[in-house]
Structure 1
Amino acid sequence: MTATDNSRDNKDVWRPHVTVACVVADGDRYLMVEEEVGGRIAYNQPAGHLDDFESLQEAAVRETQEETGWRVALTHLIGVHQWRSHEHGDVVVRFSFAAKPLSHDPQQLLDTGVRRALWLKRSEIEDLGDRLRSPMVLMSIDAWLAGQRLPLSIVSDLMPGGGHP
């Protein structure tokens, strides 16, 4: 690599969207988000983008609270999924975590675009069909149901200050 190659503009470097999601189970029901995306109603787990200076685990907990009003504790990493979004055409790399619900604030204002949080059975989620935000929704639930649970320690956090500047 030449000096010119080293100094190439950051715009030339391809970057996927790094996202997190939480499978939050309560018996046979799963916490879901009904949201407006590109002029349509879509359903997803609580999920969102990783912010700068934030660990993946912090992002998963934050996104769940912002989108649902539920405070959760992560229990496991379910998997890492890669997919090309039909919404924007970019690649998404999604870290799916399992979490247990701790407490709910029904007065909390939810993220922009989120209409409501709801608890659905797996069959009800599957029945949503193309209204699911991505195939990763059922993929992560099915992986959790199949017993796919990796220790949280598998995801290293080397951010200064434990994830915050």
Structure 2
Amino acid sequence: MGASRWKPNVTVAAVIERDGRFLLVEEMTSRGLRLNTPAGHLEAGESLLDGVVREVLEETMRPFQPQALVGIQMGRLPPRGDEDITFLRFAFAGTVAEPVPGRVYDSPVVANHWLSWDELRASRERHRSHFVLDSIGLYRAGQRHPLELLHTDPSVYTGGPAA
């Protein structure tokens, strides 16, 4: 039996600011209700931009327009037995429209909240992970990278060689 291949979990997240407040989702986790930026796992065959647009719509009911890459973050959960989980997270900044009529939050999201930076810092113990403050902190520090940095091999979608 050979060594297992390590693969990080790729996730996407959105930092959405309006009038000095940030859009967070409140979701049920194994540790109770937690606050997070709209975020989730990238799905097979999905580009990073498609993934973040989908996740924001599912968790906020709002269409998302990515405008910049805020940062790429990596974090590891404390190992448990043979389980070694690492996340590679792509955080995007952008804007949202009003909620789509008739949509509902995808489970496990129960609510959305617009919080100020001070409210975010004061609720730190309720954050899903350190990525919440890290992502918004990068955004507040002015981190904005052009979306043109991202490239997706077209063969992911067509099954053929890249052009």
Matched with 1:143 is: 138
Alignment of 1:95-106 (within 5 A): 95-105=90-100
Stretches of structure 2 that go unaligned for 5 or more consecutive residues are none
User: Which shows bigger deviation, 124-133 or 73-82?
Assistant: 124-133
Corresponding letter in the other structure for 1:110: Y
Cα-to-partner distance string for 1:28-58 (whole Å, 9 max, x where unaligned): 0111000011141110000000000000010
Q: 2:38 aligns with which of 42, 46, 55?
A: 46
Aligned length in residues: 156
User: Which shows bigger deviation, 81-90 or 23-32?
Assistant: 81-90
Stretches of structure 1 that go unaligned for 5 or more consecutive residues are 1-7
Q: Please give the TM-score of this superposition, normalised by the length of structure 2.
A: 0.87
Q: Please give the TM-score of this superposition, normalised by the length of structure 1.
A: 0.86
Q: Report if the CA contact (8 A) 1:75-1:97 is conserved.
A: yes
Q: Report if the CA contact (8 A) 1:77-1:152 is conserved.
A: yes
Q: Cα 1:103–1:144, aligned 2, differ >3 Å: closer, same or farther?
A: same
**Matches of 1:73 and 1:48 in 2, distance apart?**
16
**Off by >4 Å, runs of 4+ in structure 1:** 86-89
- The CA RMSD measured in Å over matched residues stands at 2.2
Report the identity percentage: 34
Alignment of 1:15-94 (within 5 A): 15-85=7-77, 90-94=85-89
**Matches of 1:21 and 1:102 in 2, distance apart?**
17
Corresponding letter in the other structure for 2:6: W
**Matches of 1:159 and 1:131 in 2, distance apart?**
40
**Matches of 1:164 and 1:58 in 2, distance apart?**
16
1:105 offset after TM fit, Å?
A: 2.1
Cα-to-partner distance string for 1:110-136 (whole Å, 9 max, x where unaligned): 111111111111111111122101111
Q: Cα 1:30–1:87, aligned 2, differ >3 Å: closer, same or farther?
A: farther
